[in-house]
């Protein structure tokens, strides 16, 4: 049996609204053969589903490539659907049938954007203008056969046709660097249209474009007026195409959403509902004319990343009455989203909900860490039977909801919480014999879920929720295990390149909202180019390349990578030691001075170490992209930085001058320690941990690599000891305190229930969850094989489970672009039993902690001995092994 399955185009199944002239194709392979390697592929692309009119026929190509096969046929047309299929053979000549048919449909490509941006002419009053309702009616002469809407907004929009919501996507068009890039979406609306009159309606809210942003409560940072732009293209059965655009014939009015702000919540007055507003025949004579808003259409780009959608429902777990008498619903999980509820009552009755992540040490509802974000929902009943509500242009970060007002008794069955985030596919399953580590994995996953609402945010609850670059770069390695994040980061990295300064500096947050804030508030003096934050420009594209093999994205981002490196070089002492500028450094490390957020590791050390890291990654990228001169330049620069670092920060006897854990971690992991002093550096790190009672003291830059620094240097037991600590400070301390996500501070909540300063104390902040990568690679034993020439994208993998800490079993499964890589191991009766699965068209190196001669496995598989155990090479298939534990 041989078959090509799970066909993807640009990571997506059957993508609608693709904006590339050279789409790339990928597929997985199903086969019952062990050690299968693809010998050839044959791709056909056609204009019709029966493949009678071929657009491209690759013919049979001798290659094992099954991802990112680039279209090479006749030019792709705008707004057109194409069908494609693939046939593969094995290296021994066995041929598959043609795959099932897949398709992709292009967006506007190079067509001009013709639709004006329209906005209400109603005067805006107060700090928070009401969302605007827009409508029109169109006439279709014949029965429609197809319909496509291309739509975007300055603000956030919901689109309706003939009384039905067009899509389940949320917070569209998303958050981009609006001054340079504004996304539009493509929707298939053919099934919603009918012959004759049709009504189109839209609701537009402030969103990121014009609503409150940052902790300074500033508004209108991108523009002062929200607006909608829409084109509808309808094809009928006679082959005629009709186009309709947003224009001055539309009408504008108000509806039941009286207020909707990302930080603050929403007020909805059901007494103002009129379901006919987006249906044919509605009397809009009292509505106002719209105005045209100028906008440069060259900024428009087709949707790139995954859209935000509802992902998981949580039932109310229990109703708590706090010592203050507050009625609080516990949903059991800290999440990002909203509460959907139903209620019965009299006209004018209200439901008022407030949101919080925790209860304080006395058991009362705690909102001080939300700062100025009000996170309040107010729903006014119309008094007509059972009424249901869900939010529109807002979201909250919460576990607990205080019911401040509700008509009648609270019935928990009427309340449910919905988690929302960008619609990325989950790719990881992880489990081990230590239940608290399983909870930690859960917390890591839900920290990422809660902070992937269109951009990788720092936290989802307070008046911030910004795309901090430092958080993203330390976590992307873990994120790319949890989900298929390639399209998500593709979109975000394009914004990073767009917002990058002309001199190569990288803003602290992407999209860059702090630079315009500086112009308005002198208290903020820096907005770009901290070490460990700006390095997102190099770390993120390289990680996506390493995990997915996406060379095109690496090429697109390479100028940004190079610009960041050159920015640093221009400011470094003799181009080698970076000792200038503002840096967050080892942010919120426990070795910081009392009352300070800045860790004790000197900035020039962390900055120079990360400078070396970015130069090294840029050299690797240049090599992959065949930029030989750049590769040579950056390899030489990396060597020079290494020597300068050693001269500056190591004494002749091998002592690192900065006596902090993070200083030793960075030097060890990045290879900056003089080889002859490596053992001393490892011992000194161990001593620093021991001095702190076996605990870490690291912040944002040291924490992600602390376990790696130990386990790669013969200290696996110490790494496990650190991971399994349960008292403060540790990952499992948070678990013991009831956390369901990762905290911003090790001591966000202390053992006695007292709290860190409310100024900056998120209980959903994924940065310290970067330990997940070590857990998945070491406990699970699964990693891409970076030592292999074709290791990128999981084409080659390393299976190396390393039991420790008393763990007796581990299980991990990762769904790569090629299929499922999995490792399962269990220790019983003094032996370690291991089962691994390698997907077709890939290879894996298996390393088990035993001598090769002592490993029992399938016939014909040979182990060789190395420093870290017996190793063998495996083709695709499932294999069982047994060795002494």
Active site residues: 464, 744
Token couple for 598: 């800045």
Task: State residue 465 phi and psi, 5-degree precision.
Answer: 55, 45
Q: Is 303 left (phi over 0), alpha (psi -120 to 50) or beta?
A: beta
Choose among 418, 339, 327: nearest CA to 365. 327
Distance CA(185)–CA(301), nearest Å, equals 9
Contact (Cβ atoms closer than 8 angstroms) between residue 612 and residue 620 = no
Distance CA(649)–CA(705), nearest Å, equals 19
Question: What secondary structure does DSSP assign to 141-153, as a single string?
Answer: SS-EEEEEEEEEE
Distance CA(624)–CA(870), nearest Å, equals 31
Beta bridge pairs of residue 61:
41
* Residue carrying structure tokens 């609850």: 461
Question: For 645, which DSSP code?
Answer: H
Token couple for 713: 């240097």
How many other β-carbons are positioned within 10 Å of the β-carbon of residue 767?
26
Contact (Cβ atoms closer than 8 angstroms) between residue 819 and residue 812 = no
Task: State residue 842 phi and psi, 5-degree precision.
Answer: -135, 170
Angle 821-705-460 (CA atoms, 0-180°, nearest 5)? 80
Q: Would you mind telling me the total number of residues written for the chain in this entry?
A: 885
Buried b (16+ CB within 10 A) or exposed e, 380-402: bbbeeeebebbbbbbbbbbbbbb
* Residue carrying structure tokens 């944002």: 700
Own/partner contacts of 410-415, CB < 8 Å, gap of 24 or more, are 410/319, 410/327, 410/329, 412/315, 412/316, 412/318, 412/319, 412/329, 413/315, 413/316, 414/341, 414/342, 414/343, 415/316, 415/329, 415/339, 415/340, 415/341
525 prior amide bond cis, ω within 30: no
Distance CA(618)–CA(596), nearest Å, equals 33
Cβ-based neighbours of 173, under 8 Å, separated by 6 or more = 151, 152, 153, 156, 157, 182, 183, 184, 185, 303
Beta bridge pairs of residue 783:
798
Dihedral sign computed on CA atoms, order 171, 176, 180, 183? negative
In the chain, DSSP finds a helix count (H) and a strand count (E) of 15, 45
Contact (Cβ atoms closer than 8 angstroms) between residue 415 and residue 341 = yes
Distance CA(780)–CA(846), nearest Å, equals 12
Beta bridge pairs of residue 869:
866
Distance CA(841)–CA(793), nearest Å, equals 12
Residue 657 burial (C-beta neighbours within 10 Å; 0-12, 13-18, 19+): exposed
Contact (Cβ atoms closer than 8 angstroms) between residue 818 and residue 28 = yes
């Amino acid at each position: 049996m041989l078959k090509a399955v799970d066909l993807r185009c640009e990571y997506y199944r059957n993508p609608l609204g693709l904006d590339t002239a050279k789409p790339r194709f990928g597929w997985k392979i199903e086969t019952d053969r062990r050690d299968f390697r693809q010998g050839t592929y044959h791709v056909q692309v056609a204009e019709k589903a029966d493949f009678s009119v071929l657009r491209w026929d690759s013919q049979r190509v001798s290659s094992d490539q099954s991802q990112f096969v680039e279209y090479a046929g006749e030019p792709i047309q705008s707004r057109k659907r194409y069908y494609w299929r693939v046939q593969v053979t094995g290296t021994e000549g066995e041929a598959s049938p043609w795959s099932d048919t897949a398709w992709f449909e292009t967006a506007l490509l190079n067509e001009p954007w013709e639709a004006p941006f329209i906005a209400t002419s109603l005067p805006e009053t107060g700090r928070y203008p009401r969302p605007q309702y827009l409508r029109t009616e169109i006439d279709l002469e014949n029965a429609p056969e197809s319909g496509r809407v291309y739509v975007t907004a300055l603000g956030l929009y919901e689109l309706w046709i003939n009384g039905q919501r067009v899509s389940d996507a949320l917070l569209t068009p998303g958050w981009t660097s609006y001054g340079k890039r504004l996304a539009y979406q493509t929707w298939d609306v053919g099934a919603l249209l009918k012959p004759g009159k049709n009504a189109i309606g839209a609701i537009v809210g402030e969103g990121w474009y014009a609503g409150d942003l940052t902790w300074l409560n500033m508004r209108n940072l991108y523009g002062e007026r929200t607006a909608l732009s829409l084109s509808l293209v309808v094809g009928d059965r006679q082959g005629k195409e009709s186009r309709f655009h947003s224009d001055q014939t539309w009408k504008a009015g108000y509806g039941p959403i009286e207020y909707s702000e990302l930080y603050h919540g929403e007020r909805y007055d059901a007494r103002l509902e009129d379901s006919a507003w987006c249906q044919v025949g509605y009397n809009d004579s009292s509505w106002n004319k719209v105005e045209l808003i100028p906008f440069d259409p060259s900024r428009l780009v087709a949707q790139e990343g995954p859209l935000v959608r509802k992902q998981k429902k949580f039932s109310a777990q229990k109703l708590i009455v706090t010592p203050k008498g507050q009625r609080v619903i516990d949903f059991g999980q800290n999440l990002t989203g909203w509460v959907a509820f139903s209620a019965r009552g009299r006209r004018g009755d209200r439901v008022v909900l407030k949101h919080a992540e925790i209860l304080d040490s006395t058991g009362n509802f705690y909102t001080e860490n939300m700062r100025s974000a009000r996170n309040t929902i107010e729903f006014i009943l119309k008094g007509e039977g059972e009424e249901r509500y869900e939010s529109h242009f807002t979201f909250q970060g919460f576990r607990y909801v205080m019911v401040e007002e509700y008509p009648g008794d609270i019935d928990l069955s009427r309340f449910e919480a919905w988690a929302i985030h960008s619609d990325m596919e989950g790719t990881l399953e992880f489990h081990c014999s230590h239940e608290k580590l399983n909870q930690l994995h859960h917390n890591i996953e839900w920290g990422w879920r809660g902070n992937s609402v269109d951009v990788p945010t720092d936290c989802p609850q307070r008046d911030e929720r910004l795309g901090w670059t430092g958080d993203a770069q330390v976590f992307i390695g873990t994120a790319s295990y949890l989900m298929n994040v390639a399209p998500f980061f593709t979109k975000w990295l394009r914004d990073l390149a767009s917002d990058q300064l002309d001199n190569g500096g990288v803003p602290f947050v992407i999209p860059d909202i702090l630079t315009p804030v500086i112009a308005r508030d002198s208290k903020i003096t820096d907005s770009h180019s901290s070490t460990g934050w700006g390095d997102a420009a190099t770390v993120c594209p390289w990680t996506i390349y390493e995990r997915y093999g996406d060379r095109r994205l690496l090429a697109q981002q390479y100028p940004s990578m190079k610009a960041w490196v050159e920015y640093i070089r221009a400011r470094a002492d003799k181009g080698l030691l970076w000792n200038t500028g503002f840096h967050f450094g080892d942010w919120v490390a426990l070795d910081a001075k009392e009352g300070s957020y800045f860790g004790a590791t000197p900035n020039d050390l962390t900055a120079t170490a990360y400078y070396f890291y970015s130069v090294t990654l840029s050299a690797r990228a240049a090599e992959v992209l065949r930029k030989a001169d750049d590769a040579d330049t950056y390899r030489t620069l990396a060597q020079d930085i290494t020597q300068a670092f050693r001269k500056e920060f190591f004494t002749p006897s091998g002592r690192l001058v900065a006596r902090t854990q993070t200083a030793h971690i960075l030097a060890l992991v990045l290879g900056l320690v003089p080889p002859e002093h490596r053992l001393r550096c490892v011992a000194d790190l161990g001593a620093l941990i021991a001095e702190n009672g076996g605990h870490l003291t690291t912040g944002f830059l040291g924490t992600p690599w602390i376990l790696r620094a130990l386990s790669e240097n013969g200290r696996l037991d110490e790494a496990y000891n650190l991971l399994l600590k349960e008292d403060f400070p540790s990952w499992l301390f948070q678990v013991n305190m009831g956390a369901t996500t990762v905290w911003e501070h090790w001591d966000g909540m202390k053992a006695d229930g007292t709290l860190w300063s409310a100024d900056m104390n998120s209980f959903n902040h994924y940065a310290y969850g970067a330990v997940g990568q070590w857990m998945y690679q070491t406990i699970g034993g699964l990693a891409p094989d970076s030592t292999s020439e074709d290791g990128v994208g999981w084409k080659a993998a390393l299976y190396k489970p390393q039991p420790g800490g008393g763990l007796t079993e581990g299980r991990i499964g990762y769904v790569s672009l090629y299929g499922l890589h999995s490792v399962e191991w269990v220790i019983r009766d003094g032996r370690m039993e291991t089962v691994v699965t390698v997907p077709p068209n890939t290879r894996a190196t298996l390393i088990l902690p035993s001598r090769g001669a002592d490993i029992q496995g399938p016939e014909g598989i040979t182990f060789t001995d190395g420093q870290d155990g017996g190793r063998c090479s495996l083709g695709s298939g499932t294999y069982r092994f047994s060795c002494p534990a």
